[in-house]
Structure 1
Amino acid sequence: MSTDATATTTDRLDRLAAAARDAGIDVSLIAPGPDLAYLVGHSVASHERLTLLAVPSGSPGDAVMVLPALERGGWEGSTAEAAGIRFITWLDGQDPYAMLLDALDAGGALGSAAVDDHLPYLHAFRLQQTRPALRLQPAGELIAELRMRKQPAEIDELAAVGAAIDRVHLRIGEWLRAGRTENEVAADIAEALVEEGHRSADFVIVASGPNGASPHHEASDRVIEAGDPVVVDIGGPNPAGYNSDSTRTYLVAGGEPDPEFAKVHELVRTAQRAAVAAVRPGATAESIDRAAREVLEQAGYGEYFITRTGHGIGLEVHEHPYIVAGNTRPLEPGMAFSIEPGVYLPGRFGVRIEDIVVVGDEGAVLMNNSPVELLTI
C-alpha cells in the first residue's frame, strides 16, 4: 500500500471530520458507494447487510468500519487498513447497529450523525430504532464540498479517461452507417469503450433522426437512415473509478438531411464555445449556463434547450457542481463538470455537444479534444 494513498485517506478523513465538527455533527456515517471510495479508496456492495464507515468529528483517527465477517477478506491490504481504521465484523444473527453505536459511544451521549446519500433507508431506519435520540441528517453537502475540488491526481485520471473517450469518438466511422440499427452501433461502441481503457460502458446513447430530440434516449431497433443526424453520448469509469462523458452529433452520409440541421449544429457549437470561454475562478455556476443559453435564445431556439448546461463529474457521472440557473456557487480551481448545450426539435432531430472541463487558474482546461465540427460519417 503506497504511503501517498494512505496520506490521502488520512487527509480526507480529517477534512470530513473538521467540516462535520464545524456543522455541529458528532459523527459522519458513510455507506458503500462513491463517497466511501473517495474517502478510503475502496468500496463494496453491502446489499441488506450493514457495511458502514463511521468518522467521529472529534477524533477522525478513531474511525470505525463495521462490516459483515464474510466481507472482511475483501479489505485485506486496503488503504483503510493502512490508515489505521478499526474494523468491527459481525455475524448473521448479531445486531450490527448496536455494535456500531456502542463502539462509537458507550456512554450514550452521541447526539447527531450525518448520513451520506447512499445509505439505504433500511439501515438509517434501523439506526434510528436502535438509538431513538440520535438525530440523523444528510451528509451529502459536507462530502460534496470535499469532492467538488479535484486534487491533481484526480485531474490526471479525468484527463486519461477523457482521452480514452476521445479515441472512441474518433472511431465512430467504424460502426455508424445507414442500414444498421441503433442497438447494433451501441453494442460496438460499448465494446470499444472497454478496448480503449474504460472499466465498463456505463451508458451508450445512439439517438438517430427524431430519436435525437429525446435527450436521454438510449438505443433502439430503429434502422439508421442516410441523412440522419445521430447523437452519440457515451461514457463510463476508468479502472480508478473516474468517469468520462462526451457527446458528439454526427451526420450519416447520403440522403437529404433536415435543411435546418447544419444551422442548429453550428449554433450549439457556438453556445458550447461561449460557455467554455466563460469558465474562470469566481464565475458562478449559473453564469456558465447563461452563457450557453443566451446564444440559443438569441437565435430563437431557447425553448428547445430543455436541459441544464452541465453537471459535475468524478467518481460519479453526475455530481456537484451543477451548471444550472439558480446555482450561484462561485467556481473554484479543481472543479470539474460537463458543458453540454443542446437543441431538441420534437419529431425532427436533436443536437448536443459535450465536453468535460476542469476549472484552472486562468480558465477552462478541456479534458476532451475530439473534433466538435460537424462530421459526416
Structure 2
Amino acid sequence: MAVIAETVSLTAETVDRVRGELRALGLDGWLLVNFRGNNPVAGGLMGLPAMTRRWFVYLPAEGTPVAVTHRIEQQPWETWIGDRRQYSSWRELERELAALLGGKKVAMEYAEADAVPYVDIVPAGVLELVRAAGARVVSSGDLVSAFYSRWTPEGEASHRRAAQVVHDVAHDAFRRIARVVKEGGRVTEWEARGWIQDDFARRGLHVGADSIVAVNAHAANPHYGPTAEKHAEIRAGDLLLIDLWGKEDDAAVYADQTWMGYLGDTVPDRLAQIFGVLCAARDAAIELVRSRSAAGEAVSGYEVDDAARGVIEAGGYGEYIFHRTGHSIDRDLHGMGPNIDNLETKDTRTLIRGVGFSIEPGIYITGDVGFRTEIDMYMGERGGEVTTPNPQRAIYPLFREDPFA
C-alpha cells in the first residue's frame, strides 16, 4: 500500500484569483482531475504527487471548492481549504459528480479536436464520465496559462540569470571551436556538445541543460542531436548552429536560445541572405507582440506565428518552414502556455501578462543547410520584452578577431 506524505498546498488567495478568472470567462467552475500523476496541471496546482486513486477538485466561480477523493487516500487532504466528499465505489463517485456538476459549464484540461495538444490531457473516458454527470466541458487553456504557466517573480529572475548563462556559454563555445579549427586541430559536434554541458554545470544550470550542435546539412534537421556514434567533424567553411537551453533548479524557468556561426572570416552571401530573412521574420514577430501589448491590445500565439511566417514566405522560403515560430516556456522547456503557432496547430490563446515563450523561426533546406535564430520573450509590466541578451543580427564570422562585433 502506497503512503502519500505530502498535503494539498492550494491557497485561499489562489482560489480567489481562480474565481475572478472564471467569472471573467463566463464559466461555472474549473474541474481538476488526476490519476497516477497523469495531469501535471492538476498536480502542480494542488502541490500533490501521483496518487493511486482518482481525485477530482471543483473550483467554482461562486461558492466553496469541493474535493472528491477516495477514502483510502485522505491524509493528503488534511490541509484542504474546501469541502471534502469521499467515495469508495464507482457508483458513489458517479453520484457525487452528478450532484456536483449537473447543469454546470466547467473547464478541464481538454482541447476540442486536439487543437492544442499541450492542454489536451484529460482522458476521453473521464470526459465521458463528466459529461454523463450533466456537465458541459470546455477547454481550460486560458486558465492553464494564468495559473500554471505564468511566471512568478522568482521564476522570472531565475530565467533572466539563465538567459545570461546560456548566451555566454554559446559564445564561449563558438570561440573555443573556432580557435581549435583555425589552429588546425580537430573537434566534432559531439565533443563541442560535451564542452557546453561541462560549462553549464560550472555556471550553475543543473536541470534540463542540453544542446544541439549541428553543421551544414545536420542543421537542416531541426531536432538533430549528435551522438557518440553519429556526428560530424567541424571544419573550416562550415555553417554551425548551436541551440542550447537549461535552468537552475526544478522550480526555475528555462532559457532557450539558438545562435549561428560560420567557420571563416567572411560569411558567404547566400548564407548571409537567408539568415537575414530569418532575422527579419523574428523581428516582425517581436514587433507585433510589443506593439499590441504597448497599446493594451490582446495578441494571440497564432497571430505572432503568422507575422513571422509571412516574412519567410515573402522572401521565397516558405516551403522550407518545418515548425511553428515558437513555444511556451515555463518550468518546462516546452511549457503549457500559449505557443507561437498557426502551422502545426492554431493556438488562439492570448499571450497574457506573466507568460513567456520563444521566437525561433527556421529555414531548413533538407540535405543542404539549415538556419534558425531563437530568442525568448516575457509578457511583463511594460508589455512584451526580449529577455535574451544581444539578439543576433547576422551569422558570426568565427575566424575574425572579434566575431561578435
1:245 maps to: 256
Query: Are residues 339 and 258 of structure 1, via their aligned partners in 2, closer, same or farther at CA, if it must alter by over 3 Å?
Result: same
User: Residue 359 of structure 2: which of 339, 347, 350 is its match?
Assistant: 339
Instruction: State the TM-score, normalized to the length of structure 2.
Output: 0.69
Give the Cα separation in 2 of the matches to 1:18 and 1:245: 35
2:233 maps to: 224
Secondary structure of the residue aligned to 2:312 is helix
Give the Cα separation in 2 of the matches to 1:352 and 1:283: 27
Give the Cα separation in 2 of the matches to 1:70 and 1:62: 18
Q: What do you get for the CA RMSD once the two structures are aligned? A: 4.2
Query: Are residues 184 and 110 of structure 1, via their aligned partners in 2, closer, same or farther at CA, if it must alter by over 3 Å?
Result: farther
Percent identity of equivalent pairs: 23
1:305 maps to: 321
- Per-residue deviation, 1:322: 2.5
Query: Are residues 169 and 225 of structure 1, via their aligned partners in 2, closer, same or farther at CA, if it must alter by over 3 Å?
Result: closer
C-alpha contact 1:194 1:201 (8 A) present in aligned 2: no
Deviations for 1:329-366, whole angstroms, at most 9, x for unmatched residues? 66444342211122212222111111111234555312
1:320 maps to: 337
Give the Cα separation in 1 of the matches to 2:205 and 2:11: 25
Give the Cα separation in 2 of the matches to 1:183 and 1:68: 53
Instruction: State the TM-score, normalized to the length of structure 1.
Output: 0.73
1:279 maps to: 289
Query: Are residues 12 and 344 of structure 1, via their aligned partners in 2, closer, same or farther at CA, if it must alter by over 3 Å?
Result: same
C-alpha contact 2:267 2:395 (8 A) present in aligned 1: no
C-alpha contact 1:150 1:336 (8 A) present in aligned 2: yes
Q: Which moved more, 1:166-175 or 1:81-90?
A: 81-90
Query: Are residues 334 and 135 of structure 1, via their aligned partners in 2, closer, same or farther at CA, if it must alter by over 3 Å?
Result: same
Report the AA paired with residue 321 of structure 2.
F
- Per-residue deviation, 1:274: 3.0
2:41 maps to: 35
Give the Cα separation in 1 of the matches to 2:28 and 2:213: 47
Q: Which moved more, 1:138-147 or 1:335-344?
A: 138-147
Query: Are residues 98 and 184 of structure 1, via their aligned partners in 2, closer, same or farther at CA, if it must alter by over 3 Å?
Result: farther
1:44 maps to: 49
Give the Cα separation in 2 of the matches to 1:174 and 1:334: 35
2:187 maps to: 180
C-alpha contact 2:142 2:350 (8 A) present in aligned 1: no
Give the Cα separation in 2 of the matches to 1:99 and 1:193: 52
- Per-residue deviation, 1:222: 1.7
Q: Kindly tell me the number of residue pairs found equivalent between the two proteins.
A: 356
User: Residue 358 of structure 1: which of 378, 381, 404 is its match?
Assistant: 378
Give the Cα separation in 1 of the matches to 2:125 and 2:263: 53
1:262 maps to: 272
Give the Cα separation in 2 of the matches to 1:374 and 1:68: 61
1:84 counterpart = 2:74: no
C-alpha contact 1:128 1:134 (8 A) present in aligned 2: no
Give the Cα separation in 1 of the matches to 2:335 and 2:130: 33
Query: Are residues 8 and 157 of structure 1, via their aligned partners in 2, closer, same or farther at CA, if it must alter by over 3 Å?
Result: farther
C-alpha contact 1:51 1:68 (8 A) present in aligned 2: no
Give the Cα separation in 2 of the matches to 1:108 and 1:356: 42
Query: Are residues 361 and 132 of structure 1, via their aligned partners in 2, closer, same or farther at CA, if it must alter by over 3 Å?
Result: closer
Q: Which runs of 5+ in 1 are unaligned?
A: none
Report the AA paired with residue 166 of structure 2.
I
Give the Cα separation in 2 of the matches to 1:192 and 1:45: 34
Q: Which moved more, 1:213-222 or 1:166-175?
A: 166-175
Query: Are residues 45 and 7 of structure 1, via their aligned partners in 2, closer, same or farther at CA, if it must alter by over 3 Å?
Result: same
C-alpha contact 2:275 2:395 (8 A) present in aligned 1: yes
Give the Cα separation in 2 of the matches to 1:294 and 1:307: 14
C-alpha contact 1:182 1:224 (8 A) present in aligned 2: yes
Report the AA paired with residue 305 of structure 1.
I
1:234 maps to: 244
C-alpha contact 2:189 2:234 (8 A) present in aligned 1: no
C-alpha contact 1:16 1:142 (8 A) present in aligned 2: no
Report the AA paired with residue 337 of structure 2.
H
